[in-house]
């Protein structure tokens, strides 16, 4: 790999005589998509710290057109996708049970750190990186 500027290029040896029209020697074939995704992602303010839910509560918010369920479990904030995959119930109108947010429509529960459901096992919601800067609560939206 060669790092240059904002991209990390992956190199591949060209092979002559293979009929592919490429010269011998290394050639750039792609870049590290993880780094590119991080460059494109942006931190968006969803609320002030004073507006955030108190421990044991959830609320709905929006960041860059994306619905967010902001949950406070034991004083730690987490940001999840706001729509339950079952019937698109608003998770931000649900409640906290242990380390999960429970959908108010049919009680599907999603872990606030992983987004995985307890039941059914193969369901999940997205979890967004979250940070507090001063008095602002920010989430990272790709």
Give the total number of structural domains in the chain: 2
- The values of phi and psi at residue 50, to 5°, are -70, -25
Tens of pLDDT, residue by residue over 59-79, are 999 998 999 999 999 999 999
Note whether 97 and 48 are same-domain residues: yes
Range list of H helices, the chain: 33-40
- The values of phi and psi at residue 30, to 5°, are 175, -175
Token pair for residue 21?
């029209």
Note whether 121 and 51 are same-domain residues: yes
Domain extent at residue 134: 42-141
Note whether 27 and 97 are same-domain residues: no
> What span, in angstroms and rounded, lies between the C-alpha atoms of 8 and 32?
6
pLDDT for residue 34 is more than 80: no
Note whether 78 and 27 are same-domain residues: no
Note whether 67 and 93 are same-domain residues: yes
Contact 117, 128 (CB under 8 A): no
- The values of phi and psi at residue 51, to 5°, are -90, -15
pLDDT for residue 27 is more than 80: no
pLDDT for residue 28 is more than 80: no
Tens of pLDDT, residue by residue over 101-137, are 999 999 999 999 999 998 888 899 999 999 999 999 9
CATH of the domain at 103: 2.102.10.10
- Could you identify the residue written with the tokens 């860059």? 64
Token pair for residue 41?
């992602």
> Average pLDDT, stretch 33-53?
77
pLDDT band at 93 (very low <50, low <70, confident <90, very high): very high
User: Where do the DSSP E strands lie in 15-65?
Assistant: 25-31, 42-48, 57-63
């Amino acid at each position: 790999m060669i790092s240059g500027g904002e991209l990390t290029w992956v190199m591949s040896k060209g092979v002559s005589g293979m009929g592919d029209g490429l010269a011998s020697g290394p050639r750039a074939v792609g870049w590290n998509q993880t780094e590119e995704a991080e460059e494109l992602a942006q931190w968006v303010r969803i609320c002030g710290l004073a507006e955030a839910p108190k421990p044991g509560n959830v609320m709905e918010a929006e960041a860059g057109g994306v619905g967010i369920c902001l949950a406070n479990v034991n004083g730690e904030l987490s940001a999840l996708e706001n729509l339950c995959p079952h019937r698109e119930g608003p998770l931000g109108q649900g409640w906290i049970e242990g380390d999960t947010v429970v959908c108010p429509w049919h009680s599907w529960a999603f872990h606030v750190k992983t987004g995985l459901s307890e039941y059914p096992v193969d369901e999940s919601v997205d979890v967004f990186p979250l940070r507090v800067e001063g008095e602002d609560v920010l989430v990272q939206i790709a």
